[in-house]
Amino acid sequence: MQPSIVYSYRSVAKWALVFCNYVVYFFFFFFLSTEDQILLSDNASSLAVQAFLQMCNLPIRVICRANAEYMSPSGKVPFIHVGNQVVSELGPIVQFVKAKGHSLSDGLDEVQKAEMKAYMELVNNMLLTAELYLQWCDDVTVEEITHPRYGSPYPWPLNRILSYQKQWEVRRKMKAIGWAGKTLEQVLEDVDQCCHALSQRLGTQPYFFNKQPTELDALVFGHLFTILTTQLITDELSEKVKNYSNLTAFCRRIEQQYFEGHERDSAAIAAQSSKRSLLR
Amino acid sequence: MAAPMELFCWAGGWGLPSVDPDCLAVLTYARFTGAPLKVHRVTSPWRSPSGHLPALRTRDEGTISKPQQIITHLRKQKYNADYDLSATQSADTLAFVSLLEEKLLPVLIHTFWVDAKNYVEHTRKWYAETIPFPLNFFLPNAMHKRHLERLQLIWGDDYMEDEEKLEKELYREARECLTLLSQRLGSQKFFFGDSPASLDALVFSRLAPLLKAKLPNGKLQQHLKSLQNLCNYCTSILSLYFPWDGGDPLSSAPRAAGTDGSEAEEDPHKRRKQLLSVLVGLAAMLGYAFLSGIVSIQRGSVGPAGRQPVAMQEEEEEEEE
């Protein structure tokens, strides 16, 4: 199943505000630049944070910057800017939002909270790493997609230098966690294993923990939706996810609930707007 | 019955069957499943067929070195600890393994190998005493360097330099991970009811060293000790599955006798090595003196009075050797 909504690029250009129950904070939400530049893994992480903030009913304003990576305190996108505070990545953002009194996981008991954290690590450990592997360690993808996209905002020779620098960094990291020796098949096998686990856990429930969405749902949605809607050199990766019908239905459900209604008056969908053209 | 597979892993210490978390995980898994393994507890990775520890030498697949692959191999041989788990439980296993690897393991490595006080006073001490001469001079440092490099890559340099940030974020996350495990375990005997599974082997292998080691800087350790059910969980696995090599050496006579014997055996070795190193040193000094012309042997002609006795001394030394 392909999510049928195709967002126009115009919505990215529009800066819009989503007004919700209490307009207390404005979350300036940064992610990596324009549709030409963003990569699979950054897109997934950005979408996850966006989904989380949407689920919390918080007003956000999406800002795209080519240098978002260098603006972020941890060097990773996305990050949010509230008042004079800057917080990056989903984990710290969840904590930050919780400190402000918005939490999705309050209704869970302790065991469920432990399980939620564990599954979030599973997604980070397997899906995110697999995305990074695919875009920086698979030679064809690197050559045809990653380098042109990553270097797009910069003039020659800076684009080459920055791309190679990033590639070198990611590959060293892969070596440290023992992924460097893996083949593409093994990585896809890992993705399949991870999806199988998620699918088993989800079962027939609407969300991972009963009726209410949690940050785990936001994270899973961010990654799976991005994988499903992104065109890569081959569609092996998305095929793996499509094998699990409850996961695709889950993505569709969250998309309808949290993104479709706001589409007209918000640019909160910026991440998806670039979807169709994403990675070629 | 096929010939038993051979498992090479780090020697035991600190009241544990093996000090290395990865080796301990494999060993525990093998005990849970009752896989017939011939275990070699070695004191240097150079004794392992692959150069890494743990290593499993199998008949048909050569030597396997990665802990995960070893467990997969054992599973293929019908030694499967997860046989009774439901699909959801298998999924949970995968999730909690990720949690452990991402949040706890790097901090554990930091505690044992990078934290200056712990490394110098505890970890290096143990490895330097255990690894045979002369490897003990550089292997611990090489391992330290490798772990340090790995952490730098995973966390980035700024974490390694900023002690406060490290403590505040990563150690806090590791403590949270321990708390989550404790909550998940609750009052159960194992993570999935009454029988141990692969997750239990992994959790035990990560927690037991932290619990048993006498670390001078034990911030994380204190937190673990405050989680009573996890402590009980580790001690019960240790006493159930490793009754003779974990706990009290007196409680099992044969093993205790074995260790005593090997200690007694080590002493003459030490003496011999000391003697050998002195001799090597002496030979090097004399060789240098000889080559650089400070000492020379002249046959036939009578040399200067001062030189003659030195040369004779040298000849005597060589005879001794």
Check CB contact under 8 Å for B91 and A115: no
CB nearest B102 (choices: A121, A176, A200): A121
Q: Which amino acid would we find at residue B212?
A: K
Asked whether the bond before B134 is cis by omega within 30 degrees of 0, the reply is: yes
Q: B131 falls in which pLDDT band (50, 70, 90)? A: confident
**pLDDT over 90 (residue A224):** yes
Average pLDDT taken over every residue of chain B: 80
Q: A29 falls in which pLDDT band (50, 70, 90)? A: low
CB nearest A125 (choices: B92, B101, B180): B101
CB nearest B94 (choices: A113, A176, A197): A197
Q: Looking at chain B, how many residues does it have? A: 321
* B243-246 contacts, C-beta under 8 A, 24 or more apart: B245/B12, B245/B17, B246/B12, B246/B15, B246/B16, B246/B17
Check CB contact under 8 Å for A126 and B154: no
Check CB contact under 8 Å for B94 and A194: yes
**pLDDT over 70 (residue B29):** yes
Task: Give the Cα separation of A171 and A180 in Å (integer).
Answer: 7
Rounded to an integer, the average pLDDT of B145-157 is 84
Nearest to B114 by CA among B74, B197, B63, B170: B170
Most confident of A211-215, A243-247, B162-166, B254-258: A243-247
Task: Give the Cα separation of A11 and A265 in Å (integer).
Answer: 9
Q: A155 falls in which pLDDT band (50, 70, 90)? A: confident
Q: Which pLDDT does position B265 carry in this prediction?
A: 42
Chain A from 106 to 125: CB within 8 A of any B CB: 110-111, 113-115, 117-119, 121-122, 124-125
Q: Which pLDDT does position B206 carry in this prediction?
A: 92
Q: Which pLDDT does position A119 carry in this prediction?
A: 92
Rounded to an integer, the average pLDDT of A117-141 is 90
Q: Which pLDDT does position A261 carry in this prediction?
A: 63
pLDDT digits (tens, 9 = 90+) for A49-83: 888 988 888 877 777 777 778 888 877 878 888 87
Could you list the beta-strand ranges (E) of chain A: 27-32, 60-65, 79-82, 85-88
Q: How far is B268 from chain A (nearest CA, A)?
A: 41
CB distance A90 to A49 below 8 Å = yes
> Strands B55-57 and A79-82, how do they pair?
unpaired
* Among the ranges given (A158-162, A190-194, B96-100, B308-312), the one the predictor scored with the smallest mean pLDDT: B308-312
ipTM: 0.78
